[in-house]
Structure 1
């Protein structure tokens, strides 16, 4: 197979969620992420950390045309959020908000920093 053909196969696998690191497909990793996050937000909520899910961003816009929703938690270190496809809605047993909280501008890197900081300090304890 040529390099162009290899790239086309990889593009197709990525689009279908089937690209793999040799252990897990991209789709499996997203499912793991959703399940781990669903467990985390339940624990956070039980510890008094504010967590909500919403079909709409704070400005009223649907999350990615209504096919996704957002889960937002306000950890001691700051806001963290993720979007998930509609089929994952029932995994997140947290309060529903008509609108998500105002986004504080966090980046993916900042979310990682905030999660690490809260693990180090034992967030919610």
Structure 2
């Protein structure tokens, strides 16, 4: 923008644009090469349970029903899972999840994958 203002003969606007450009260079944040809390180990127990169900083929609505959560809560967890794992699709999630899962663990081993009961043990 500063160059355009300079070519069109607007030196006051050119100075303002250059000032903003310098300000943005100083305040612009560059993404970390690897964000903290990255990978399967960074997931909470709830996120891991949701990732496990999604990787097994469940939809968000099915996960919400199984875990007695709202769809929006599941959607929020899914976004966190995708960000922490660095994936953009359910297929990528399933591939990564299958590769990261220990061989000895059964598919529903996650404690958060089990439905919660609202009733006491009695």
The answer, yes or no, to whether TM exceeds 0.5 is no
What is the TM-score with the length of structure 1 in the denominator? 0.24
Higher strand share: 1
Return the TM-score normalized by structure 2.
0.24
- Would you tell me which structure has more helix in proportion to its own residues? 2
Structure scoring higher RCO (CA < 8 A, sep ≥ 6) equals 2
